[in-house]
Structure 1
């Protein structure tokens, strides 16, 4: 058995299950399909509650843990007490420190505190586009909202026009291998995603209007993973402009592109993560090829609604409880599609969802 823990751990729990593990899930959101894939599941409220819960379950079951979305910062604390499959340099969790390390290594990233141009305000901690927004070039501050510009919490960065790419990298601390490139979707209006909110992935990334040098993107992602001593799986987000590739962030755990990757490549990323971390598989020996195009899109609530979605419907994932109420713009469900025209299929399934599965609350 393995303990898999995260704010939303459904996709990692599923991946562990198809790898042959019995799974004890620990999550803030215990979706209906998470319950289907896990042997046991436990819910936590505040993030700090997860530490004691994960440690207790690992000790009771004499097993190890894998920490996923939202629990990366707990790695050091949990690792003091039980075995955790995964490791990384904590500097990557603070974007300001992250960019300083990139600067020392000569890896390009969007300029910080530029004097002019299209600018972005971004939280130093966290991910998924939460709290990220555009700024005017003069950085005028509204007196009623000065806390937004607290430099201990935020950074200001140049906005780069280009193709946003998410690389999946496996690393053992000595060598790293990019095993897939994904198109990163953010702020997708058809999914009711505001600003830069994470909206999903399409795997593999096959073409780009910016003429991306895929081999260079892969190489940069491997350099970033190695620079921050990643052991296991991670995601490196980049934006490829017309003349340069800019590194945005490192997610030092199994990334959100897990669903689209596994549907595309037909292998368990969880299994690869554990084997690389344990030294049973070296990254350079991994050679995978996609079998199909796949997409996972995150659908946000269009208003105050109740959701009625079967956990057995193959078009959807992260299924909420029957009749659960969602407020406007809360993440509600993931929409899954495969094959050519995967984005159009997502939009078709969105119509089905809104017509038959959502009711005004």
Structure 2
């Protein structure tokens, strides 16, 4: 059996092979902004394999390519290929944040207060968000002096709390593989997005374990309500008294790598093996910090650096040693902040 991964997220192409344990696979990079005709895809497939009976195809989409990849995969299925991608209903929630908000509201899933009535008087602290945005694009504090700027936007109440992500893989039997929860720190009113902050995943302490169980319950509920396949990331904020689901991202997310490294998972084997549902327990300390240098990774996959630098090891001292290899200038990294947060969150 040959497996073809059509891959849109650019940085993922650098590290995906380290998260597949099988040998008989081919990775084909797709430009996430290009509108491919089906004949272009068929030409790529024919250059790899001529027999369709011994071939499985998977589309690993970015936010921008979700709908395009869905139609390409559908066309391949109509031509007799075994092709898989994220499901249409889940894609709709991922690309249209208002549809997602109505879905959460209609199914009694806690999310921050929101409104699409952009010109109504709002008495609390609300953020302006892009209806079709991703990765914190277009988020700003509300200002009532530029109505044209509000097109394609909605308002969401700003809530103080700790942000978390959960990555889930759903197979064809609707069984879920739940990855370790990723801690993304406290949100701030200056709106520093989570990908520009420290992230941590690893063996939970008791408090973290309790929060994780509650986050998993919400993930299971959502996945049980809507048709989906493949990876989905759930973004949460946990306040002093509430767990709120911020967003649903039905694709390979920026937090999948750190979550996979925390539990030693070959994440993309999920597609090839159709694994049974399970909760993957973290057994390694993994951290992730902002990075802007050349793409690098270690042979043993203890660190991978693309648009972020991810480090994983059995203990924090070895993690710090690898961080110092990548960031030789100690002024570039707050080692005290890393150790303080790891020690407060994880059971080490």
Pick the TM interval, shorter chain.
Answer: 0.7 to 0.9
**CA distance 1:234–1:308, change in 2 (3 Å):** closer
2:139 to 132, 137, 157: 132
Q: TM-score, normalised by structure 2?
A: 0.73
Instruction: Name the counterpart of 1:77.
Output: 71
Unaligned runs of 5+ in 2: 50-54, 77-81, 116-120, 333-348
Quote the Cα distance in structure 1 between the aligned partners of 2:226 and 2:232.
Answer: 11
CA displacement at 1:205 relative to structure 2: 7.4
Q: Secondary structure at the match of 1:290?
A: coil
Contact 2:168–2:177, Cα closer than 8 Å, also in 1:
yes
Unaligned runs of 5+ in 1: 28-43, 301-306, 320-330, 357-361
Contact 1:234–1:253, Cα closer than 8 Å, also in 2:
yes
Quote the Cα distance in structure 2 between the aligned partners of 1:25 and 1:355.
Answer: 39
Alignment of 1:115-126 (within 5 A): 115-126=122-133
Contact 2:202–2:283, Cα closer than 8 Å, also in 1:
no
Instruction: Name the counterpart of 1:198.
Output: 195
Instruction: Name the counterpart of 1:32.
Output: none
Contact 2:179–2:280, Cα closer than 8 Å, also in 1:
yes
Quote the Cα distance in structure 1 between the aligned partners of 2:251 and 2:230.
Answer: 8
Instruction: Name the counterpart of 2:112.
Output: 110
Alignment of 1:342-361 (within 5 A): 348=324, 351-352=327-328
Quote the Cα distance in structure 2 between the aligned partners of 1:221 and 1:334.
Answer: 27
Pair 1:141 & 2:145 matched: yes
Contact 2:4–2:25, Cα closer than 8 Å, also in 1:
yes
Quote the Cα distance in structure 1 between the aligned partners of 2:155 and 2:17.
Answer: 37
Instruction: Name the counterpart of 2:219.
Output: 221
Per-residue CA deviations over 1:177-213 (Å, capped at 9, x if unaligned) read 433211136989xxxx973262374223735989963
Quote the Cα distance in structure 2 between the aligned partners of 1:97 and 1:20.
Answer: 40
Range 71-80 or range 241-250, more displaced = 71-80
Q: Secondary structure at the match of 2:291?
A: strand
CA displacement at 1:17 relative to structure 2: 4.0
Instruction: Name the counterpart of 1:66.
Output: 59
Q: TM-score, normalised by structure 1?
A: 0.70
Pair 1:23 & 2:26 matched: yes
2:285 to 288, 293, 298: 293
Pair 1:99 & 2:104 matched: no
CA displacement at 1:149 relative to structure 2: 0.8
Contact 1:5–1:66, Cα closer than 8 Å, also in 2:
yes
CA displacement at 1:335 relative to structure 2: 4.6
Instruction: Name the counterpart of 1:317.
Output: 304
**CA distance 1:12–1:272, change in 2 (3 Å):** farther
Quote the Cα distance in structure 2 between the aligned partners of 1:102 and 1:174.
Answer: 20
Quote the Cα distance in structure 2 between the aligned partners of 1:156 and 1:52.
Answer: 42
Contact 2:235–2:248, Cα closer than 8 Å, also in 1:
yes
**CA distance 1:231–1:109, change in 2 (3 Å):** same
Instruction: Name the counterpart of 2:309.
Output: 334
Quote the Cα distance in structure 1 between the aligned partners of 2:69 and 2:280.
Answer: 29
Quote the Cα distance in structure 1 between the aligned partners of 2:130 and 2:213.
Answer: 30
1:245 to 243, 253, 271: 243
Quote the Cα distance in structure 1 between the aligned partners of 2:213 and 2:26.
Answer: 36
Quote the Cα distance in structure 2 between the aligned partners of 1:342 and 1:244.
Answer: 36
Quote the Cα distance in structure 2 between the aligned partners of 1:342 and 1:156.
Answer: 44
Contact 1:181–1:203, Cα closer than 8 Å, also in 2:
yes
Q: Secondary structure at the match of 1:61?
A: coil
What's the Cα RMSD here? 3.6
Instruction: Name the counterpart of 2:343.
Output: none
Range 7-16 or range 242-251, more displaced = 7-16
Aligned length: 304
